[in-house]
Amino acid sequence: MSIITPLSSRGRTWFQALAEKAQPVDTGLGSVLVADATWGGERVRLLAIVPDQRNRFPRAQHGELGLEEGWALAHHVREAIAADSSDAKRPIIAIVDVQSQAYGRLEALLGIHLSLAAAADAYATARMAGHPVVALIVGTALSGGLLAHGDQAHRLLALDAPGVIVHAMRKASAARITRRTVEELDELGKTVIPMAYDIRQFAKLGLLHELIAGIDADAPSAAQVAQVEERVAAAIADIRKRPGDLTARLDNPEAKVHRAASIEVRKRLAEQWDAS
């Protein structure tokens, strides 16, 4: 009888590190890890998507966000909202290392679009209900995976490390579709910042609350884990002072330079909204 060792992933590494002394929550799925940790005396819910070779949906065995994963995230976030409805609103931390969404015939048929919508909905609902929601990007954050698991947070944090990538499509596929080489795409990312695969370029868009440097993303030391935990806790405190919504991402020096068009559109729309 062979024992299947779970595929390692940064999501699993960081979940296990941050949830070391936490109360695990049974999700019924090998691909969805949830736990309630205690940080500085308060309960914090951690969620991560990890590879599960035994996932009963074959197209979601390598860390993709699939049908059951989306609904499970929605379930466990809403569970926290309901449990805390007349209590302190525990922070909710999405540990983000998602390959992408799951691609498959069954996924299409059974409405994976709605599964991901449900996850995004739950995180947004938690945010609007007063739970501080933080996304910690430790690996890849691609496309639908990020939209469902992370993008609805108050604040996005990322590790400043190789392999931390935010993008709409895998580089090889993007190269194919735009008819460029991978090298040409890399070059393009230097001037067309939203196309860059480099997290430091991504940070210029003003979407990140913090880029955490000096961390070994694959094998962090105890001190590094503590540092990351401290930065997330600081983000939680910041959220409690000024929660805001996603438009807060437009209110920083980087956005004023590299998202000038976003700001201009909203400003001009407001000017034209009511007929003169």
Partner 1 sequence: MIQTTHSANPVTKERRDRFLSRRSVIEMRARERARALLDRGSFRELLGPFDRLESPWLPLQGIVPESDDGVIIARGQLAGQPAVIMAIEGAFQGGGMGEVSASKIAGALALARRDCASSKPILPVLLLETGGVRLQEANLGEAVVAEIHAEIIALRRHVPVIGVITGMVGCFGGMSITAGLCSYLVIFPQGRLELNGPEVIEQEAGIDELDASDKRLIWSLMGGEQRYETGFADALVEDDAELLKQTIRDLAARGIPARHRSEKVEEYRRSLANIDPAAPPDGPALRRMWPKGDMQ
Hey, which residues between 104 and 163 contact partner 1 (CB under 8 A)?
Answer: 104-118, 120-122, 124-125, 128, 143-144, 146-148, 151-152
Burial class (CB in 10 A: 0-12, 13-18, 19+), 225: middle
| Per-position x/- string for 60-99, each x denoting binding to partner 1 as judged by CB under 8 A, each - no binding | -------xx--xx-xx--x---------------------
Residue 5 contacts partner 1 per CB under 8 A? no
Cα angle 31-136-47, degrees, rounded to a multiple of 5: 30
The two three-digit tokens of residue 16, written as one number: 């296990």
For partner 1, give the closer residue by CB, 58 or 214.
58
Query: Binding partner 1 by CB under 8 A: which of 25, 129, 195, 233?
Result: 195
Site residue total, partner 1 (CB under 8 A): 76
| Per-position x/- string for 7-46, each x denoting binding to partner 1 as judged by CB under 8 A, each - no binding | ----------------------------------------
Burial profile 247-260: b = 16 or more Cβ within 10 angstroms, e = fewer: eebeeeeebeebbe
| Closest CB 193 distance from partner 1, rounded Å | 8
Cβ 127 vs Cβ 133: under 8 Å: yes
For partner 1, give the closer residue by CB, 113 or 256.
113
Query: Binding partner 1 by CB under 8 A: which of 53, 178, 181, 221?
Result: 178
Cβ 123 vs Cβ 246: under 8 Å: no
Burial class (CB in 10 A: 0-12, 13-18, 19+), 116: buried
- Write out the binding residues for partner 1, residues 213-272 only, by CB under 8 A: 245-247, 249, 259-262, 264-266, 268-270, 272
DSSP state of 231: H
